[in-house]
Amino acid sequence: MSRFGNLGHRLYQGEVSFDFVGRRKLWYSISGAIVLLAAIGLAMGLHLGIEFKGGSVYTVTKPGLTVSQAQDSANKITHDSTALVQKTDKGAIKIQVSSEDKIPASTFIQELSTDLKVPANQINAQVVGPSWGHEISQKALLGLVIFMVLVTVYLAIAFEWRMAVAALVALIHDLLITIGVYALVGFEVTPGTVIGFLTILGYSLYDTVVVFDTVKENTRGITKQNKRTYSEAANAGLNQTLVRSINTTVVALLPVAALLFIGGGLLGAGTLNDISLALFIGLTAGAYSSICVATPLFAQLKEQQPEMKALAKRVAQRRAAEAKAAAEAPQDAEADGGDDDLPAGMVGQRNQPVSRSRSKGRPSGKH
């Protein structure tokens, strides 16, 4: 842990720095590939739970009951073999009957209970109308749209419109990835999953907002100097909050993971599992997107501003002048061998006395 703690410090000081913003093409292609995969998955269709198709689920818990026994009795009741019988982790038997069978739940429970010799009140049943899932999804979608509009307005006011756009793109990216994973892996989509999807909204943005906050701080008064371009400053901010982002994500994921692996493990599939699985995927995607998608995109948008373009020009001029000066004067012997061929956009000025920290993090008596 000490090395990690130390890393935090080195990141903060800019001694170690990952070039997130400069490598945006890499991130965009990774994200693009994942989103494309997700889209393919979606095209194949989602595995919708009973709530979305309509039908009924009966859960019977009886020691020694086998799937085939349950299947036999279910077939007897439905007079065909359409009932889907599964064993859950806890030794319970789940029988799914589609709504086309038109057998009232009461009848089904009665017959099951006599056939399998289980008291009727020990049989859990869920009967869902075919339009219920549609209803839930519609409401969820409505919530999603309202939330996106509101949050965009809010972020545009609290930060600026470019941040709002970048955050929104990251958010949609997270949702797409999560839904795509569901489609590809074939996890069942239930109302619980929908809840999970919706929660990702808040969380994904939470992460992004924490990062943006630092970026905003780091780039204050950026146009008053000519040492760093906007992207570089943003990247420095990103590196400073890297540990924070990692920590907040890990801490948020821990309880979710507990829910997923422990709650789910104890119970077999259930609402707990549905919610936590969607959250787990979404949070992971959210952590990645706040660093690798939202911030680079935001920096890119910022760089379009005339004053930022002018800044980039000035920085380039200055560096060219410095390079010329360095070529004339003998190279500083202490320079790292490894950074002669640094890519453009690398943070940290070489052969510069430290002056970065003058205006950073030291409020000059403003508070």
Q: How far apart are CA 83 and CA 99, in angstroms?
A: 11
- Beta-strand pair 47-48/188-189: parallel
Strands (E), 49-145: 55-61, 84-87, 92-98, 123-128
* Structure-token pair, residue 303: 């760089």
Told to check if 10 binds another protein by CB under 8 A, we report: yes
Told to check if 19 binds another protein by CB under 8 A, we report: yes
Q: How far apart are CA 313 and CA 320, in angstroms?
A: 10
Residues 39-68 that bind another protein (CB under 8 A): 51, 59, 61
Residues 194-213 that bind another protein (CB under 8 A): 194-195, 198-199, 201-203, 205-206, 209-210, 213
Question: Binding segment for another protein among 68-76, 144-152, 296-304, 311-319 (CB under 8 A)?
Answer: 144-152
Q: Binding mask 75-104 vs another protein (x if CB under 8 A, - otherwise)?
A: ---------------x--------------
Contact pick of 312, 314, 348, 359 for another protein (by CB under 8 A): 348
Side chain identity, residue 227: K
Residues 256-315 that bind another protein (CB under 8 A): 256-259, 262-263, 266-267, 270-272, 275-276, 279
Cα 217 to chain centroid distance, Å, stands at 24
Nearest to 245 by CA among 16, 2, 11: 11
Q: How far apart are CA 297 and CA 149, in angstroms?
A: 19
The residue among 91 and 186 lying less far from another protein, judged by its C-beta, is 91
Told to check if 220 binds another protein by CB under 8 A, we report: no
Told to check if 192 binds another protein by CB under 8 A, we report: yes
Q: How far apart are CA 254 and CA 252, in angstroms?
A: 6
Nearest to 30 by CA among 243, 283, 288: 288
Q: Binding mask 160-189 vs another protein (x if CB under 8 A, - otherwise)?
A: ------------------------------
Residues 99-138 that bind another protein (CB under 8 A): 105-106, 109, 121-129, 131-132, 135-136
